[in-house]
Structures are given as C-alpha cells and as structure tokens.
Structure 1
Amino acid sequence: MQLFLMRHGDAGYNAHSDRERVLTDTGRHQTELMSNWLARRVTDIDLVLVSPYLRAQQTWQEVSKHFPEPRHWQVLDDLTPSADPQRAVETVLAYGELYKADNVLVIAHMPLLGYMVSELVPGIEPPLFATSGITLIDKHGERASLSWQNTPHTVS
C-alpha cells in the first residue's frame, strides 16, 4: 500500500473557528501545483481519507480535478489537527484493508501528519509538512518506509 499523506493548502485566519478556515488563492495554487506533480507519478487513487475541516475538504476538491474518481472516499474525524496519531494510523490502515486499496491519499493537518509518519516508520522523527506538501509512505505488511517528501517549492 502506498500512503500519500498530504497537508491541506495554505488557509486564511479570518474564520469563526479553526474548522471553518478556507484556502487562500496561494493555497489553491500550491495545491494545484502538487496535484499536477502527483498526477504525473500516480495514475489513480483508490481511497481518499479527508479531515472534516473546511480547508482539507477544499484541498481535496482541488486535488480531485486531477485524478479519476476514487473507488471510495471518506471524511474522518480521526484526521483533525489534535487527533491521536496512533488511532489515525490504525483507522487509515483499516480503511485501506477494507477497500483493498493500493494507493491511499490522506488529507489532514500538522502536527498530526508528522506524528503519523513516526507511527508508521519507527525511528523517524516527526517531519514538518509544508502547506500542500505530500509524503509517500510505502507500506508492505508490517514494514513501512518513507519514500519521499515534497513541497510546492521542491517540485517542477
């Protein structure tokens, strides 16, 4: 299973709550840049798991323009910024198994994503994720490895 962990795009702060923050024009642009880059490397996504926060939902809307419809997508409360990383990983992997997904895209937040990487790949310090940044975790059986991590500033 390939787990593509993506942080939402850049979001503004003019909102009633953290849940309601919306993507900025820069966030949409960076998400489009990363989506184009990813679409040149991956032809389809089997399963998409997205945070319920508006900026993550909007990020998925942008990404979805670049891929065929996934077999399944789900909004998960376990993918919010302060969610438990171990539970988030267990939930993501359970959904991956349930839907027999080879390519899983997770759109969530910091610090959760960094901690999820550490849960999946023991011995790795939680990496930082730039907005719209994507990390690939290659998981085979009990083994997982960090294959790459890219940001809108490192792709062309």
Structure 2
Amino acid sequence: MKLWILRHGKAQAMAASDPQRALTERGCADVLHMAELLRDQQLDGILASPYLRAQQTAGLVGEHLNFARGVATAPWLTPDDDPMQVINYLSERTEQSLLLVSHQPLVSQLVSLLVEGHRRGHYPMPTAALACLEMDVVAAGLAQLLSLNTPKDS
C-alpha cells in the first residue's frame, strides 16, 4: 500500500470551537501547491478528519485532482486519536493508494509508528506537509518513508 498523509492547511486561529476552524487563504494556497505532488498518483480513496479544516483540505485536493469518488470522513483522524487505531483500520483496507488528511500530533505519530515502530520519531509536519509511505503489510515499523514535503520545500 502507498499511503499519503497530509496535514491540513493553515487554519484560522480562532473559531467557536477547534473543530470549526476554517482554512485561511494561505492555507488554501499551500494545499493546492501540495496537491500538485499528487497529480500523477492513482488514489483509490481520500479519508479526512471530520474537522472543518481537514474537510476543506481534502475537498481542495479532490477538486484539484478531479477525484470523482469524493472524500470519506474518518472520525478516528482527529488530532488526539490513537495512531494505532488508524493502523488497525488501514490493515483491513484493500486499497493500494490512500490519502489521509489529518492533524498534529496524529500525523507525526502515525508516520513515526509506521516507519520506526514507535511514536517518538521526529517527523516535522507543518501545515500542508505531505508524507508518502509505502508498505507491503500495514503494521508498525514496516513502512518505508518515500518522501516528506512541505510547502516551503517544494
């Protein structure tokens, strides 16, 4: 499986609640910039956190890529969810290429757990950062990090 992990774009500092924080103009621009890295990928699915900024990020990527299947909402992709729960879910999937859109600290912990087998690895994931991992079996410590890009890098 090829797994793409995208942190949402830059969001407003304040909203009625954290889940309701929307993307800023800069956040939208950064997301579209990073979506170009997915242009030639054959995604089987896009899964996003239910938080507004993640839904907006996934929607922008889907539109940019003309992804006809739409975005599925995954309630286990919120900031403080357990990355092991994500791995357990992914281990039962049959898709060959998925994009997950989520938040810190989950995205860094998930990359670390998949690549190193623990959550303590340092994988900087600023807003709109995009990691690509590949693995034959979805399990802790079995993934290879193919790339980690940020809007400033690309």
- Fold match (TM-score > 0.5): yes
Deviations 1:36-63 (A, max 9, x none): 2321x42x21011100000000001110
Q: Which residue of 2 aligns with 1:3?
A: 3
Code of the aligned partner of 2:58: W
- The offset of 1:126, in angstroms, is 3.9
Unaligned runs of 5+ residues in structure 2 are none
8 A contact 1:8–1:108 mirrored in 2:
yes
Q: Which residue of 2 aligns with 1:113?
A: 107
Shift of the 24–72 alpha-carbon distance from structure 1 to 2, 3 Å rule, reads closer
Determine if the alignment matches structure 1 residue 50 to structure 2 residue 48.
yes
CA distance in 1: counterparts of 2:59 and 2:70, whole angstroms: 14
Shift of the 151–76 alpha-carbon distance from structure 1 to 2, 3 Å rule, reads same
Shift of the 70–93 alpha-carbon distance from structure 1 to 2, 3 Å rule, reads farther
- The offset of 1:70, in angstroms, is 5.3
- The offset of 1:131, in angstroms, is 0.6
TM-score (normalizing by structure 1):
0.88
Deviations 1:2-49 (A, max 9, x none): 00000000001220110000000000000010012321x42x210111
8 A contact 2:62–2:70 mirrored in 1:
no
Unaligned runs of 5+ residues in structure 1 are none
8 A contact 2:58–2:71 mirrored in 1:
no
Which of 81, 84, 96 is equivalent to 2:82?
A: 84
Q: Which residue of 2 aligns with 1:101?
A: 95
Q: Which residue of 2 aligns with 1:33?
A: 33
CA distance in 2: counterparts of 1:116 and 1:54, whole angstroms: 21
The count of residues paired between Structure 1 and Structure 2 equals 149
8 A contact 2:6–2:100 mirrored in 1:
yes
Code of the aligned partner of 1:2: K
TM-score (normalizing by structure 2):
0.89
- Structure 1 vs Structure 2 CA RMSD: 1.7
Q: Which residue of 2 aligns with 1:16?
A: 16
Shift of the 34–77 alpha-carbon distance from structure 1 to 2, 3 Å rule, reads same
- Matched position secondary structure for 1:35: helix
Code of the aligned partner of 1:154: D
CA distance in 2: counterparts of 1:48 and 1:72, whole angstroms: 7
Equivalent residue runs for 1:121-132 within 5 Å: 121-122=115-116, 125-132=121-128
Which of 110, 130, 133 is equivalent to 2:129?
A: 133
What is the aligned-residue identity percentage?
33
CA distance in 1: counterparts of 2:90 and 2:73, whole angstroms: 11
Which of 55, 62, 74 is equivalent to 2:60?
A: 62
